[in-house]
């Protein structure tokens, strides 16, 4: 039977410009992916383009170029570090320089601090309580956001670290439907936790798939759409990083970034191109399509 | 166009499902949890998404289906509920969202739950009747009512309306209603119980006293009848409204798209 | 090239008898599934058959017949309750009777106590810290395993509940490979958490699939085999409950159980049949195959 | 049958991968974690599962692949690593198992990790060189070394053997070695660093002092050479063993099944 006058479901689809505008100066910003994979690079370039400042950046569990670029562009005030580096390509140069010169505040986390902090943020737990042993490490001694409390079951003093609840989380995935249901074809890493812990979450996706393709296999959905506030179509939106299941990372482009003068790089690849497709044009269709590799 | 049918042409279950569905108009874009043994709210969520709140997200109980679009079945954790869903939550997912969603600014968490006792302040009990240490009836346990202090809004539904369910004071607070302790401890964004959908009517809570009062009575129900079946004095408004019966469109969608097997008409509902 | 003399991977396949023998008197035992779905019923019947006593049973998040049967058979000493009941079929009669008569000790948990308790057990966290609000509920007041401590970030006293680390976890799933890699076709509920938190975990499965079928789609694996100690093939091993994705629950058989004299039921369906297939014979192939329903 | 090849016929990377793989004989049935920038241990795990420890479970870094059986690639979080894996962990899964596995009696958690500094007690540092407040070099961060107090056993590997890496005392303890604080706080089942695999040799820790000592030196390496490249006095056993070079079978499996692209031969390893 025909349903008359029923309201229609609202598509959450927006543009990179609209998405970047949701991130305000001073926000706590988390981004997804890991190393040279699945970073929301097109959106990060747009955030820089919009001149966003004083971000408290929650670098992902092993962050490379996304964190380094935001630091190099002067957008970052405080950086929560679990790992920031370029894996086999060496140190992340702008992060290292900014940290050594004291231009950014570092919060020295690690995998537990980051992952269980986000989990506590998602749940609203007051803190993360640690089992014994971490007293022997320097992070809880040197990083002042760790605290202590009592374990009432043993009477022992324990270490705790804070819940992490970002203002905005940004992730990149292979597929998303217009209502925010995300499908990762490869590793999810902590993208699901970022979506759960953040007050708002934006997904950029290689393609926007119809709802029916989600409903056909709901167990493939990696993040349910109720956590997602905006969906942006961004093909090759992780370039020069990989998008798992769709294309490999462009290692030469990452090396070029590493070795470049940061201001020249920003002029050429961020402020120069008028939009994401103009950025992609700088690499050309042959190079991009040769990165394609499914799982 | 939206003609009203006579009382005899729909069941109390259908009436209640429609009433809950209409309330979901206020929750378009919100996220609603439905528990076990919950055909009424499950049907309501399906109906609401078709007619009134297409942006409502809802969870079918412990099975974890988000936005199940299959026909109504008895158990919300039956695998058939997963068909046509958009995501399947495990228990960690469920606790993650039900424990603390009010920190997000893009949608409230709503729940439609029950209890073996519900009292005048909207506290709910699933644990025991009588003394906790030596109960007359040992209940099933607090289960998801622990989220009663983290949900943005709680609605109750009951399949029966008797003085054994609607008691003056619950014997165990699985989820607190408008109690002094809620006021003292629970963040104000977690607003607690707002409405009760029973087989006799719809009830809300007086803001001043936090006590239950009649909002509307279902067709054919009198104030005397509902008061006689309630274990505490109900607030009675100056003008007692009648619950608007299901429209032809609501019933048609319910019977063709939501509940083609007619489970809502077979429910053992006590009036 | 041919590898000479290399050792072979060890299959973890065992029998129901061997699996049940891993559960000792007095053990803390957790079981998977929810309501009338995915309970490891064949193994539970074998545990009863072996006369296991004084179990500390961690009933699953919404437990029905598995908990009721173990209580009715006198195997349970302490029962952690989140929900124990038969959903639309009413109360769980042996649980209710034993609780009302004080024959079993009840730990009054709920979804947070159970799920985050298992999570803390998996992680080795000392306890679960609660956000404000739960002071207004009776569980933390009446159930003595809750405690209090200080939130050093706010100076507020908070509620905590204990970590749960069962001695043995038992789950039932549609598929498992010989090395313990599990595939759920439907809901996982807390089966993954049970496997993570338990010192040993046993899987009963409708079928044992080859490793290659797991490797063909590793993202379908619901629990990695490193958590699994024994794999048992048990077709219709959840009967009379459903196995998601394979067959529906046998509601008539659950009603019969509910209404039966428990001793008569145990004689006929647990102690009488010599093994699991003899149990299935009591229902017959027509009835069983008519329960089949894929997703 | 298992003939030994001459030194020139294998690379130091291949030698180290084989040495780590052989150590995994002791971990058949255990669970091993390999991090980022870890071609050596990743190759070792693959080789070990084929030749020595078929029941070894291993995690390829942050990408989360369990028992990856694809050919070696540069990054352990590359999606190509997921091919032929048995499970894909997300970060919650990884933390769940790496934080507390010693409570289980069916297998140890083992890790093969590195550091920008490793000291004589096996403490490891990824955070800074020099003063923490004003570092000469700001490191990448502690990342997974936080599990150094929950892993059952820790192995180190390094791509270089220099006094800048092997220091008397780390400037920041990302993961504690055999320190008084480990003894005081860390459960004894978490045994801490056991071996160090460097381009010059294999090192263990003297039980009495907890300090690093030579276990074996790779072919062609002298005690003087390794001592001159180490920032603290190494323990020297009465008889210094030579690391057994790769056998023909090990090299064949490595080059045909594990690393057909020869990444181990291209690694920038400093001797």
Distance from CA of C90 to the nearest CA of B (A): 10
d(C-alpha B33, C-alpha B50), whole Å: 17
Alpha-helical (H) ranges within A124-190 are 139-142
For residue C240, whether the previous peptide bond is cis, meaning omega lies within 30 degrees of 0, is yes
Chain A: which residues have CB within 8 Å of chain B?
Answer: 1, 3-4, 6-10, 119, 122-125, 165, 177, 179, 181, 196, 199-200, 211, 214-215, 218-219, 221, 223-226, 229
Return the closest-CA partner of residue B211 out of B239, B164, B169.
B169
Cα D259-D262-D44 angle, rounded to 5 deg: 40
- What burial letters (b/e) apply to D141-153, b meaning 16+ CB within 10 Å? bbbbbbbbbbbbb
Count the neighbouring beta carbons within 10 Å of the beta carbon of residue A85. Answer: 26
Distance from CA of B212 to the nearest CA of C (A): 19
- Cα B96 vs. chain centroid, distance in angstroms? 21
Count the neighbouring beta carbons within 10 Å of the beta carbon of residue B236. Answer: 12
Residue D112's pLDDT band (cuts 50, 70, 90): very high
Give the mean pLDDT of chain D.
94
- Chains touching chain C through at least 3 C-beta pairs below 8 angstroms are A, B, D
Decide if D99 and C3 are in contact by the 8 Å CB cutoff: no
Question: Which ipTM was obtained for this model?
Answer: 0.97
Which of A:10-69 have CB within 8 Å of C? Answer: none
Residue D1's pLDDT band (cuts 50, 70, 90): very low
Q: What is the DSSP string of A29-65?
A: EEE--BBTBS--HHHHHHHHHTT--SEEEE--TTB-H
A21 contact partners, CB below 8 Å, separation of at least 6: A50
Q: Which long-range contacts (CB under 8 A, 24 or more apart) does C45-49 make?
A: C45/C69, C45/C269, C45/C270, C45/C276, C45/C279, C46/C16, C46/C17, C46/C19, C46/C20, C46/C276, C47/C20, C47/C23, C47/C75, C48/C73, C48/C75, C48/C266, C48/C270, C48/C271, C49/C20, C49/C270, C49/C271
Q: Is residue B270 part of a domain?
A: no
Sort C236 into a burial class: Cβ within 10 Å, 0-12 / 13-18 / 19+: buried
d(C-alpha A210, C-alpha D187), whole Å: 52
Strands B124-125 and B117-119: antiparallel
Distance from CA of D1 to the nearest CA of A (A): 37
pLDDT at B102 over 70: no
Tell me the average pLDDT across B92-105.
Answer: 83
Q: Is residue D3 part of a domain?
A: no
φ and ψ at C178, to 5 degrees?
Answer: -65, -15
Return the closest-CA partner of residue D47 out of D28, D24, D76.
D24
Least CB-CB distance to C6: which of D50, D103, D252? Answer: D50
Q: Is residue B2 part of a domain?
A: no
Distance set, CA D195 to CA A234, C50, D19, D220 (Å)? 47, 46, 11, 20
Residue with tokens 């299935």: C280
How do residues D122-139 score in pLDDT, each as one tens digit? 999 999 999 999 999 999
Decide if C150 and A150 are in contact by the 8 Å CB cutoff: yes
pLDDT at B104 over 80: no
Query: Which domains does chain A carry?
Result: 15-111+166-293 (3.40.1080.10), 127-162 (no CATH)
φ and ψ at C232, to 5 degrees?
Answer: -125, 130
Sort A101 into a burial class: Cβ within 10 Å, 0-12 / 13-18 / 19+: exposed
d(C-alpha A53, C-alpha A104), whole Å: 12
What is the pLDDT at residue D3? 41
Decide if C199 and D106 are in contact by the 8 Å CB cutoff: yes
d(C-alpha D27, C-alpha D29), whole Å: 6
Least CB-CB distance to A127: which of C129, C148, C220? Answer: C129
pLDDT at D220 over 90: yes
- Which residues of chain C fall short of a pLDDT of 70? 1-4
C89 contact partners, CB below 8 Å, separation of at least 6: C64, C251, C254, C255, C258
A1 contact partners, CB below 8 Å, separation of at least 6: B252, B253, B256, B257
Strands B193-197 and B201-205: antiparallel
Residue B137's domain is classified under what CATH number?
Answer: 3.40.1080.10
Count the neighbouring beta carbons within 10 Å of the beta carbon of residue A4. Answer: 9
Beta bridge partners of D59: D33, D66
DSSP 8-state assignment for residue A22: T
Largest CA distance in chain B: 57
All residues of chain C having their beta carbon less than 8 Å from the beta carbon of residue D107 are 226
Decide if A152 and C127 are in contact by the 8 Å CB cutoff: yes
Count the neighbouring beta carbons within 10 Å of the beta carbon of residue A282. Answer: 12
Residue B105's pLDDT band (cuts 50, 70, 90): low
Best C137, C157, C164 residue to mutate vs chain B (most B CBs within 10 Å) = C137
Best D141, D154, D179, D184 residue to mutate vs chain A (most A CBs within 10 Å) = D141
Residue with tokens 């395993």: C145
Q: Is residue D271 part of a domain?
A: no
Give the mean pLDDT of chain B.
94
**D91-99 and C111-123 are packed helices; what angle lies between their axes, rounded to 10 degrees?**
60
d(C-alpha D74, C-alpha D16), whole Å: 17
Decide if A92 and D140 are in contact by the 8 Å CB cutoff: yes
- What burial letters (b/e) apply to A16-43, b meaning 16+ CB within 10 Å? beebbebbeeebbbbbbbbbbbbbbbbb
Q: Is residue D144 part of a domain?
A: yes
Q: Residue B96 in contact with residue B89, Cβ under 8 Å?
A: no
What is the pLDDT at residue B2? 38
- Mean pLDDT by groups of 10 residues along chain A of 295 residues: 80 98 98 98 98 98 98 98 96 97 97 98 97 97 98 98 97 98 98 97 98 97 97 98 98 98 98 97 98 95
**Helix, strand, or coil here: C148?**
strand
| Helix, strand counts (H, E) of chain B | 7, 15
All residues of chain B having their beta carbon less than 8 Å from the beta carbon of residue A214 are 86
Q: Tally the domains of chain B.
A: 1
Residue with tokens 């706010």: C154
Distance from CA of C225 to the nearest CA of D (A): 8
Range of the domain at B165: 8-265
Best D123, D142, D184 residue to mutate vs chain A (most A CBs within 10 Å) = D142
Q: Is C263 left (phi over 0), alpha (psi -120 to 50) or beta?
A: alpha
Distance from CA of B131 to the nearest CA of A (A): 28
């Amino acid at each position: 039977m025909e349903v008359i006058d029923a309201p229609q479901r609202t598509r959450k689809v927006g543009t990179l410009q609209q998405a970047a505008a949701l991130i305000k100066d001073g926000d706590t910003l988390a981004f997804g992916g890991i190393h040279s994979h699945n970073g929301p690079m097109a959106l990060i370039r747009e955030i820089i383009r919009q001149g966003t400042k004083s971000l408290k950046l929650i670098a992902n569990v092993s962050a490379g170029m996304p964190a380094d670029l935001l630091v190099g562009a002067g957008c970052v005030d405080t950086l929560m570090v679990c790992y920031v580096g370029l894996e086999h390509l060496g140190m992340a140069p702008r992060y290292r320089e900014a940290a050594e010169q004291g231009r950014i505040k570092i919060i020295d986390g690690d995998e537990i601090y980051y992952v269980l902090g986000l989990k506590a943020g998602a749940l609203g737990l007051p803190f993360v309580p640690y089992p014994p042993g971490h007293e022997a490490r320097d992070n809880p001694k040197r990083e002042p956001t760790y605290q202590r409390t009592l374990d009432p079951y043993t009477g022992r003093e324990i270490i705790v670290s804070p819940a992490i609840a970002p203002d905005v989380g940004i992730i990149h995935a292979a597929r998303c439907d217009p209502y925010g249901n995300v499908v990762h074809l490869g590793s999810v890493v902590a993208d699901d936790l970022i979506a759960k812990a953040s007050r708002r979450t934006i997904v950029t996706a290689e393609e926007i798939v119809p709802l029916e393709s989600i409903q056909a296999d709901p167990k493939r959905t990696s993040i349910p759409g109720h956590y997602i506030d905006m969906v942006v179509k961004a093909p090759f939106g992780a370039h020069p990083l990989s998008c798992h299941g769709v294309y490999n990372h462009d290692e030469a482009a990452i090396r070029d970034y590493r070795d470049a003068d940061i201001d020249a790089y920003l002029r050429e690849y961020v402020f120069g191109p008028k939009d994401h497709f103009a950025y992609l044009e700088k690499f050309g269709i042959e190079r991009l399509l040769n990165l394609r590799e499914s799982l | 166009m939206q003609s009203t049918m006579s009382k005899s042409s729909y069941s109390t279950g259908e009436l209640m499902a429609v009433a809950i569905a209409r309330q979901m108009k206020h929750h378009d874009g919100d996220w609603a949890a439905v528990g076990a043994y919950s055909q009424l709210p499950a049907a309501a969520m399906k109906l609401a998404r078709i007619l009134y709140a297409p942006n409502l997200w809802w969870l079918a109980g412990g099975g974890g289906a988000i936005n199940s679009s299959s026909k109504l079945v008895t158990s919300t954790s039956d695998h058939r509920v997963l068909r046509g869903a958009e995501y399947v939550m495990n228990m960690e997912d469920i606790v993650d969202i039900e424990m603390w969603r009010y920190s997000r600014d893009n949608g409230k968490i709503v729940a439609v739950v029950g209890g073996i006792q519900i009292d005048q302040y909207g506290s709910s009990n699933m644990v025991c009747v009588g003394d906790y240490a030596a109960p007359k009836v040992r209940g099933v346990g607090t289960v998801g009512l622990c989220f009663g202090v983290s949900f943005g809004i709680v609605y109750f539904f009951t399949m029966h309306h008797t003085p054994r369910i609607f008691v003056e004071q619950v014997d165990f607070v699985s989820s607190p209603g408008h109690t002094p302790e809620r006021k003292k401890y629970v963040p104000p964004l977690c607003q607690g119980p707002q409405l009760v959908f029973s087989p006799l009517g719809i009830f809300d809570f007086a803001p001043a006293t936090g006590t239950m009062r009649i909002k509307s009575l279902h067709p054919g129900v009198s104030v005397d009848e509902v008061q006689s079946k309630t274990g505490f004095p109900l607030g009675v408004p100056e003008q007692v409204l009648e619950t608007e019966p299901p429209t032809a469109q609501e019933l048609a969608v319910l019977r063709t798209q939501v509940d083609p097997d007619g489970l809502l008409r077979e429910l053992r509902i006590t009036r």
